């Protein structure tokens, strides 16, 4: 599980290095395209025999997946990785809390709110406002992704639903990716990096998270998944040389604690972001 968390965040850091060549849109398009090819080769999903309801579910799931990733990459282009992931985490935190009737969960919400306020420095920090808004939008789509992932998991065997949804998402992203990346999308060095991003951010963590869920309670899985903001800050520091102030590190710690507390007794499925 810890390897999967690290893989996702170091994959995101590697993706940011592509932005100068193909932009966020081009980077996310190549990532989703390569991840589709890898997952399709593994799961070999059948295209026939699907009902209209199945395709509607797949299209909704694919849209939430690519919208989450596109909004996140656009945020990542404007604000540090650790901060972007921390703000985005309000999505799964909201899902974990929404189905609970425990008064203690209000404490976790308050703790996360304090962390987000610290990140914004009560409106005076030198953070890109659009970047923060995009990270919040990514969190909203992450929440939708979590809810739809549960339905897709029940409707399709293995990774077939994810592979088909990602394929549909790649088609949706194609105009954005081509407009943002242009001819640079075909540069061999860019393609190799994008393949690495797809493997680190999708193929490896998805496989490891599925194996982890077979061996541990969902609550423990959720707690470990809550380490993602802290891992993102570490990846941003190592790969992108993105330092964080003490206040920002404390804020990330508060959101990690809030997410871990809320997820302790909740079922939180893996992400593909």
When pLDDT is averaged across residues 120-127 and rounded to a whole number, the result is 56
The two three-digit tokens of residue 173, written as one number: 């992203």
Rounded to whole angstroms, what are the CA distances from 183 to 33, 176, 188, 195?
16, 13, 11, 17
The two three-digit tokens of residue 220, written as one number: 């423990």
The Cβ of residue 133 has, within 10 Å, a number of other Cβ atoms equal to 15
Quick one: pLDDT band at residue 123, thresholds 50, 70, 90? very low
Quick one: pLDDT band at residue 60, thresholds 50, 70, 90? very high
CB 95 within 8 A of CB 147: yes
Report the predicted TM-score, pTM, of the whole model to 2 decimal places: 0.84
When pLDDT is averaged across residues 9-13 and rounded to a whole number, the result is 91
CB 2 within 8 A of CB 224: yes
CB 94 within 8 A of CB 146: no
Domain residue ranges in the chain: 2-263
Asked if residue 79 has pLDDT above 50, the reply is yes
DSSP annotation of 41: H
CB 232 within 8 A of CB 6: no
Q: The tokens 């990774």 sit on which residue?
A: 159
- What is the rounded distance in angstroms from the CA atom of residue 45 to the CA atom of residue 168? 13
CA 231 to chain centre: 13
Task: Give the closest residue to 16 by CA, choosing from 7, 6, 26.
Answer: 26
Helix (H, G, I), strand (E, B) or coil at 101: coil
DSSP annotation of 264: T
* Per-residue pLDDT reduced to its tens digit, 165-224: 889 999 999 999 999 998 999 999 999 999 999 889 877 887 777 677 667 766 666 677
Q: Is 236 left (phi over 0), alpha (psi -120 to 50) or beta?
A: alpha
Give the residue, 159 or 272, on which the prediction is more confident. 159
């Amino acid at each position: 599980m810890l390897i999967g968390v690290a893989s996702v965040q170091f994959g995101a850091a590697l993706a940011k290095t592509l932005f100068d060549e193909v932009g966020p849109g081009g980077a996310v398009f190549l990532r989703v395209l390569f991840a589709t090819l890898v997952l399709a080769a593994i799961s070999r999903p059948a295209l026939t025999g699907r009902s209209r309801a199945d395709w509607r579910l797949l299209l909704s799931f694919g849209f939430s997946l690519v919208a989450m990733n596109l909004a996140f990459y656009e945020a990542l282009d404007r604000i540090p990785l650790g901060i972007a992931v921390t703000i985005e985490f309000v999505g799964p935190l909201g899902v974990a809390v929404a189905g609970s009737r425990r008064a203690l969960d209000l404490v976790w919400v308050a703790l996360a709110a304090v962390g987000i306020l610290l990140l914004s420095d009560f409106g005076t920090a030198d953070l890109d406002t659009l970047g923060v808004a995009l990270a919040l939008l990514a969190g909203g789509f992450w929440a939708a992704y979590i809810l739809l992932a549960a339905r897709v998991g029940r409707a399709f065997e293995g990774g077939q639903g994810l592979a088909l949804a990602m394929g549909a998402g790649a088609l949706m992203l194609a105009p954005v990716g081509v407009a943002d990346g242009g001819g640079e999308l075909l540069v061999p060095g860019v393609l190799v990096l994008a393949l690495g991003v797809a493997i680190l951010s999708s193929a490896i963590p998805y496989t490891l998270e599925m194996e982890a869920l077979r061996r541990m309670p969902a609550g423990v899985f959720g707690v470990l998944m809550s380490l993602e903001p802290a891992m993102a800050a570490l990846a941003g520091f190592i790969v992108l040389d993105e330092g964080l102030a003490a206040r920002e590190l404390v804020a990330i710690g508060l959101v990690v604690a809030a997410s871990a507390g809320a997820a302790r007794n909740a079922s939180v499925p893996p992400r593909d972001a």
